[in-house]
Amino acid sequence: SFLPLINQMGPQVHATLERPGFYPAGGGRIKIEIQPTQQLQPIDLQTGGEIQQRRAIAWIANLDQDIAVRELKVIAHKLNWEEDWLSIEQVNHANGPGNVVILEIQRDHVTEVFTGFGQLKRSAEAVADLAIRQCQHYLKSGVPVGKFLADQLLLPMAMAGAGTFKTLPLSRHTQTHIHLIDQFLDVHINVIEQTSQNMMIEIKS
């Protein structure tokens, strides 16, 4: 969700997941390759465009695969997703047990990601529901940028000196981020409430 937009701003960043890490054992490892740019370029995300692809992945490590099967069954039923949009990833080299469900909505201009993490005493169905609720809320809102991606885009857009995107109501973390950027960079960040579920963020030098 994040890196393709950063790449539109000028640099070329490629990430490779070499090994997943699940709490509490950890041990995850990601390789990042960066071709920098002299100046970040502004982007405009006022629309996400049409949905091109939907995908659900249930990652499972050192646990019964039936957990992933149950999670995908809930997703297929509640989101009415087709079977070929669903997949199971068995992790054979994780340091400990773990489970995560990842939903991806790929649109013309942006891809959003929603997750549900397995926890002790949390059923497979409840894990799937966590991701499903986030996904449904995002799709119903009609905005291109979800609340977590909105927080991540603020700093690179501010460094570019300009940018615009529509998003959901701001989290407290995002509000704090806006205030913090204002202390360090000579930019103005305007938040315009278009509807109760639609916020326009404008960044100007």
Contact 57, 126 (CB under 8 A): no
User: Which of 173, 177, 179, 188 is the catalytic position?
Assistant: 173
Return the half-sphere exposure (C-beta side, CA atoms, 13 A cut-off) of residue 135.
25
Is there a contact between 138 and 39 (Cβ–Cβ < 8 Å)?
no
**DSSP strand pairing (44-45 vs 162-167):** parallel
Q: What are 136's two structure tokens?
A: 């449904």
Q: How high is the mean pLDDT in each 10-residue block of the chain (205 residues)?
A: 96 94 92 97 96 97 96 98 96 91 97 95 96 96 95 97 96 95 95 92 95
- The answer for residues whose C-beta is within 8 angstroms of residue 148's C-beta and 6 or more apart is none
Enumerate the β-bridge partners of residue 142: none
The yes-or-no answer on residue 137 being catalytic is no
Both structure tokens of 10 = 């000028």
Give 123-134 as a DSSP string.
-HHHHHHHHHHH
* pLDDT confidence of residue 200: 96
What are the E-state strand segments in the chain? 12-19, 29-35, 44-45, 51-61, 86-91, 98-107, 111-117, 162-167, 188-195, 198-204
CB atoms within 10 A of CB 2: 15
